[in-house]
């Protein structure tokens, strides 16, 4: 099973020894998980179902979490909710050892980290906001009207031209992990077929 240091690495040796159709449910409740160097998840929770198939192990379920972010309107830090819904087939034995993302190695370790990271990144908005009703910053004095009012309350709001520069300041800072030089790559995969789970051949 998973361990405290690597909760998304699961020993599935017990499952590989079972016949097709055997199912095992795994619950997750982790205070903090760091995926690579560009994504830190807080309060990772949810449940995944591991189903033994003739081809390997089908992983299905949803994980919820949050990550630190800065609001693109008012620049305030906040906790951004993220989720990852999996329905992916991990092949065993791996047909291509050089591409192990959706495969289980001979050590019987199923590593969900790269796949969960990919789905969480795809759920990351280009311009995250702390709340739908965020008023942004005052384009004149920079005051945060979400906290206190100022004498410029009648000036054009946060979506007007005067506040465009303030929003653009965070364009790079709030880009999803992997969307800027130096971050880990995002592995884009074809959309799942409605007839079955994703797998690599």
**Coil, strand, or helix at residue 131?**
coil
Query: What's the predicted TM-score (pTM) here?
Result: 0.73
pLDDT digit string (tens) for 159-192? Answer: 443 454 444 554 555 556 655 444 455 454 544 5
Q: What ranges do the domains of the chain cover? A: 9-173
Strand stretches in the chain, DSSP E: 9-11, 23-35, 39-53, 56-70, 77-91, 109-111
Burial class from Cβ neighbours inside 10 Å (0-12, 13-18, 19+) for residue 37 reads: exposed
pLDDT digit string (tens) for 104-126? Answer: 988 999 999 999 999 999 999 99
Cis peptide bond prior to 151, omega within 30° of 0: no
């Amino acid at each position: 099973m998973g361990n405290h240091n690597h909760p998304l690495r699961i020993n599935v040796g017990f499952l590989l020894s079972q016949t097709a159709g055997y199912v095992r449910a795994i619950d997750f409740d982790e205070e903090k998980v760091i995926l690579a160097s560009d994504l830190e998840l807080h309060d990772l929770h949810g449940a995944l179902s591991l189903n033994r198939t003739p081809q390997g192990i089908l992983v299905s379920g949803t994980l919820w979490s949050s990550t630190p972010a800065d609001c693109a309107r008012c620049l305030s830090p906040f906790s951004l909710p993220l989720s990852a819904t999996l329905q992916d087939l991990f092949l065993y034995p791996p047909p291509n050892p050089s591409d192990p993302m959706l495969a289980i190695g001979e050590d019987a370790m199923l590593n969900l980290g790269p796949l969960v990271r990919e789905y969480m990144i795809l759920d990351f908005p280009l311009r995250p906001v702390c709340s739908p009703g965020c008023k942004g910053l005052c384009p004149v004095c920079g005051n945060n009207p979400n906290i206190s009012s100022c004498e410029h309350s009648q000036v054009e709001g946060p979506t007007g031209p005067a506040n465009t520069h303030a929003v653009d300041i965070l364009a790079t800072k709030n880009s999803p992990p992997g969307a800027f030089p130096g971050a880990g790559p995002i592995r884009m995969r074809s959309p799942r077929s409605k007839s079955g789970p994703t797998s690599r051949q």
